């Protein structure tokens, strides 16, 4: 499967996130996860001087400028993934991503405990997502089942899932939901047949007579 097959990637992601309550947990904790990651990466400091053509974009006010830290590269990564898969979504993400950079820069500048806040936001949100998979979705995250492409694009799909849930591209959303339900039903049917065949094989095996 091509790594950039948008619909197939979304379906693969959604099959791992098919329970509504799990998606709610991911939607809430995902915000804190991304903000925590942006904060931690911002604390690493600037990697290079901010290009002059980007300075107006990263100057929120004369006293608050976002430096060209690794967090900025993450912002552009998410933005360009959005452009690649869904340009209209990328326009939704632009102000959201910029606000994360601005919030992180403001907290770092005005609070000595910025690292602890970022660390807690990141680790607790990761824990919430993991527990949600285990106890609500009852499966393993993409990383643990070897689906590295879905894991790589998970921030994008997590954000996209929220805007789809609230009415963006309804035809695409419900078309994918129907296909997801069909695939999950087929997987469950196959598992039931295999389990039934295994039980039949066990019960039909003749027991050895004791000598």
Given the structure tokens 């053509």, which residue do they identify? Answer: 53
Beta strands at 64-65 and 59-61: parallel, antiparallel or unpaired: antiparallel
Same domain? 90 vs 186:
no
Left if phi > 0, otherwise alpha if psi is -120 to 50, otherwise beta: which for 45? left
> Would you say residue 147 lies in a domain?
yes
Same domain? 174 vs 151:
no
pLDDT of residue 207: 57
Same domain? 158 vs 62:
yes
Burial class, 163, CB count within 10 angstroms (exposed 0-12 / middle 13-18 / buried 19+): middle
pLDDT of residue 210: 53
Q: Are 59 and 65 contacting, i.e. CB atoms less than 8 angstroms apart?
A: yes
pLDDT of residue 5: 84
Average pLDDT value for residue range 51-65: 80
Same domain? 116 vs 35:
yes
Average pLDDT value for residue range 125-152: 89
pLDDT tens-place string over residues 68-85: 899 999 899 899 999 988
Q: Are 29 and 129 contacting, i.e. CB atoms less than 8 angstroms apart?
A: yes
Show the domain range for 191: 169-202
> Would you say residue 210 lies in a domain?
no
Closest residue by Cα to residue 68 from 45, 100, 52: 45
Q: Give me the half-sphere count of Cα atoms (radius 13 Å) on the Cβ side of residue 14.
A: 25
pLDDT tens-place string over residues 12-54: 999 989 998 999 999 899 899 999 999 999 999 998 888 888 8
pLDDT of residue 1: 47
Average pLDDT value for residue range 144-172: 88
pLDDT tens-place string over residues 103-120: 999 999 899 999 999 999
DSSP symbols for 102-147:
HHHHHHHHH-TTHHHHHHHHHHHHHHHHHHHIIIII-S--GGGGT-
- Residue 75 DSSP label: H
> Would you say residue 1 lies in a domain?
no
State which H helix or E strand residue 204 sits in: helix 170-204
Same domain? 125 vs 93:
yes
Per the prediction, the chain carries an average pLDDT of 88
pLDDT at 205 over 80: no
Distance CA 95, CA 211 (A): 80
Domain count across the chain: 2
């Amino acid at each position: 499967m091509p790594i950039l097959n948008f619909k197939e990637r979304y379906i693969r992601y959604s099959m791992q996130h098919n329970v509504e309550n799990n998606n709610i947990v991911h939607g809430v904790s995902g915000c804190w996860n991304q903000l925590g990651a942006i904060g931690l990466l911002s604390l690493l400091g600037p990697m290079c001087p901010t290009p002059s053509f980007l300075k107006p974009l990263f100057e929120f006010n004369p006293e608050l400028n976002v430096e060209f830290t690794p967090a900025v590269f993450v912002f552009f990564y998410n933005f360009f993934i959005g452009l690649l898969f869904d340009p209209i979504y990328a326009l939704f993400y632009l102000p959201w991503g910029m606000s994360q950079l601005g919030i992180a820069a403001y907290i770092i500048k005005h609070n000595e405990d910025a690292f602890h806040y970022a660390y807690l936001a990141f680790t607790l949100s990761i824990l919430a997502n993991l527990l949600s998979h285990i106890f609500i979705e009852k499966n393993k995250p993409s990383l643990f089942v070897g689906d590295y492409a879905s894991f790589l694009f998970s921030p994008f799909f997590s954000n996209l899932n929220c805007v789809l849930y609230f009415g963006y591209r309804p035809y695409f959303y419900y078309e994918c939901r129907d296909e997801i339900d069909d695939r999950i039903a087929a997987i469950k049917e196959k598992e039931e047949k295999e389990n039934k065949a295994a039980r039949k094989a066990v019960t039909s095996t003749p027991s050895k007579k004791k000598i």
